[in-house]
Chain A
């Protein structure tokens, strides 16, 4: 059993890495139809492996869980790679935004299936109104020069609070109208049908991302003026604050359904391979298109040399804020996917110590390498949570703890032998920058 399991697990990890490589390769194929067909095939292969044929199933329910975790981790780590690897801002706040996304999305669907529409309505209107308020205030502020960052922050904060208050009002006003259609958990209405729930889940994940993005905007605006190291400490503080709020969500925050430190239970398990895959591919595409655009290049220039970038006409503060917001958006999306796979959110999951995981993945895969991050996310989850946990658990009940000794050693060795990370800054297939051909003189 032992040898067989070990070999099977290793084969599985190698297969998954090959799968990632294949997926990125086919996504980068020149022919559009091959590309679409390849992505559908990549989806279908795993879907088939997840389908039980009698007693036989290639990927077990345990593997399925790992798969979803890996997809979520890919999104979180890609976001962090944008902030840290591409923009050079050392952030420990990614895990906090992941938590915000998870709780936000979970709250929306939890309330929805329990006949309360306010979660969705308030967040949806809130996100749109706050975005409009921020846009308007930004337009207004751009007419003046030399406004201290704290003053503009205060204006943005006031605008956000006002817009959020309007959203809460709208939510309360619409609730009686929507209540009959939602029904009760025992007697669900048409808005709680199978299909409607899928739509609500999709919206919940998107809104969770947008919510995290707005929080990151307000937090990043003043904090990003700090130098990189100080910024790291400030973001660590952010993750701790968010975690504390989660633990006390039923006492100091008005969210009794989150049940504070006891953990939020009863979240509908709506994440399927389709959604996990779709969101992951979406994040990969957006990330790649962002990096390989003119704005993406300015993001990298800030990492390379801030003074030079500034002298080249690059808005440093704006660029940092942009990559921070986009990175947090990815984390929020990942949180939504994770919450609806696990069905239970515990504040312990979002502890800042666990928050080092995406950082380790990003460094492990290679700072500034998107392919490295994707591969490392999958490899990490399947190796650490899959292989090591199972193997060590056969050696005694306490033995799995050893994996927290083994992987730091692996990390140490990697840093000594290959400080640029596993992939350095090489990219695979789809994620490669297009090599510009030399100009032909006529």
Chain B
């Protein structure tokens, strides 16, 4: 635990020997991630490499078989997922998981609930505190929506939105959790090139504006190479390479993992 003192700048997230086995299958094996504060990091790898499993381990949806996860120097193996989120880790999902029958505004307001500032009693008795805090909460979530250009859609039911907008609502909702670390699971999946450019701008914007550390999983190399400062490559649950986008592009093992053996020499 004394490790983080020797690091400069401090690490937001660190995994030490993180391993997860499902029966005989080792989905994630001995992964050591180091994400510096304020970094925009990427996690890539072919299908089934264990990227989403790693996310589920970090957010507490799965318990690791072995290893340790430190968030801002504190272990987050053990707390419930909702407690981990309240410590400051927000996430989005690969297959969009919005609260489909609720409005866009309510989707974001739900994520803001831990910071709502009024109790259930205030809510039922409708005390002045309820009105004040509810107003504050609503305005705050409207600000989040405005960043994503969704303010006009606030009263729409989430499931009626087009795909790209649902993605943006999901990121807005994750931001409303007030995270220090944001995990984005394939944010560009299913987007057209124009939407991808917008998304990249958006990620840059929230990264700067909210002083966030971001870790994203992505298949679209344009996105990863375009915005990530540091990339980790997973294959069959193990880290096969890490470094700057330039290093990764030149790494033979990475090319091999993606294109097959021999491709590295051919290229």
Contacts and interface: CB of A to CB of B under 8 A. Distances in A.
Interface in B84-113: 85-86, 90-91, 93, 97-102, 105-106, 109-113
A439 B61 contact: no
Q: Is the interface of B mostly helix, strand, loop or mixed?
A: helix
A314 B105 contact: no
Contacts of A368: 101
A135 B142 CA distance: 36
B185 to A, nearest CB: 10
Given A289-B126, A439-B139, A313 B99 contact: no
Nearest to B116: A294
A311 B81 contact: yes
B142 to A, nearest CB: 4
Contacts of A272: none
Given A294-B137, A307-B97, A313 B85 contact: yes
B118 interface: yes
A312 B177 contact: yes
Contacts of B116: 294
Interface stretch (B29-37, B149-157, B213-221, B259-267): B149-157
Contacts of B251: none
B53 interface: no
Contacts of A44: none
A323 to B, nearest CB: 11
B247 to A, nearest CB: 32
Interface string A409-442: 0000000000000000100000000011011000
A286 interface: yes
A308 interface: yes
Nearest to B99: A304
B12 interface: no
B124 A286 contact: yes
Interface in B147-173: 151-152, 154-155, 173
A305 B97 contact: yes
A436 B105 contact: yes
A310 B81 contact: yes
Contacts of A301: 99, 102, 110
Contacts of B139: 439
A146 interface: yes
A311 B109 contact: no
B190 interface: no
Q: Which 5 A-B pairs have the closest CB atoms?
A: A293-B123, A304-B99, A313-B85, A308-B97, A294-B116
Interface of B: 59, 61, 78-82, 85-86, 90-91, 93, 97-102, 105-106, 109-114, 116, 118, 120, 122-126, 130, 134, 137-139, 142, 146, 151-152, 154-155, 173-174, 177
Given A300-B110, A312-B173, A436-B105, 5 more contacts: A305-B98, A308-B99, A312-B82, A312-B111, A438-B154
8 contacts: A294-B137, A297-B110, A298-B110, A304-B100, A308-B93, A311-B61, A312-B110, A315-B80
